[in-house]
Amino acid sequence: MPPLNPESPLRSLMETFPIEGRLEWIGLRPGRRAPLLAMNHVEVIADHGLAGDHKAQRAGGKRQVTLIQREHLAAVAQLLRREAIDPALLRRNLLVSGINLHALRGEHFRIGAVVLEGTGPCEPCSRMEEVLGAGGYNAMRGHGGIAARVITGGVIAVGDGVVFEQEKSPG
């Protein structure tokens, strides 16, 4: 989709969020197929990802950090007839609440002082059948969250705000 004219009424609507989101959980995967480790805070490295996560070893790419909405975990749990879903099972780095991640695709946003750019959907993979059971893949479709690249690094912590970045940062 081409960028909207900054004067467009639709652009104004797309930049308005009712509340600030919140970082609820952080997970690092030290190696491929390794379980995620829950963290209270983490260093985020510009153009790499989360320090200690195996994906952060290389620069570049559109999947430096993956995010999922807490509100979507409830939907996935309901579809699987479960009470709850542990975010560590879903292979996403960050669990956020209170902000529509889909609306941040293609946009810059902040978590604490760190600036990310939503690069696209984070679709489920076949591992969802392994970790969630039969139907896990389909339960996650449309609820997989987004991928992002790191524009400005820093440290993030559980409880940090998640906000749309009105003006795009250089990067």
pLDDT at 20: 86
- Residue 169 resides in a domain: no
- Residue 1 resides in a domain: no
pLDDT, tens digit, 9 for 90 and up, residues 143-162: 999 999 999 999 999 999 99
Q: Show the domain range for 122.
A: 19-164
- Mean pLDDT score of the chain, rounded to an integer? 89
- Residue 81 resides in a domain: yes
- Residue 29 resides in a domain: yes
Which DSSP state fits 65?
A: E
Question: What does the pLDDT average to over 99-113?
Answer: 93
> CB–CB of 26/37 below 8 Å?
no
- Residue 8 resides in a domain: no
| Torsion on CA atoms 96, 84, 146, 97, rounded to nearest 10 | -20
Amino acid letter for position 3: P
Name the strand (E) or helix (H) holding 129: helix 127-132
Nearest to 154 by CA among 110, 94, 113, 97: 113
pTM (predicted TM-score) = 0.87
Amino acid letter for position 48: H
pLDDT at 135: 94
- Residue 131 resides in a domain: yes
pLDDT at 22: 97
Place of tokens 């250089």: 170
* Number of domains making up the chain: 1
Question: Cα(94)–Cα(148) distance, rounded to whole angstroms?
Answer: 11
CATH number at residue 104: 2.40.33.20
Q: Is the pLDDT of residue 170 over 70?
A: no
pLDDT at 68: 97
Question: What does the pLDDT average to over 34-46?
Answer: 95
The percent of residues above 70 in pLDDT, for the chain, comes to 87
pLDDT, tens digit, 9 for 90 and up, residues 56-79: 888 899 999 999 999 999 999 999
Q: Is the pLDDT of residue 8 over 80?
A: no
Which DSSP state fits 31?
A: S
- Residue 78 resides in a domain: yes
pLDDT at 58: 85
- Residue 9 resides in a domain: no
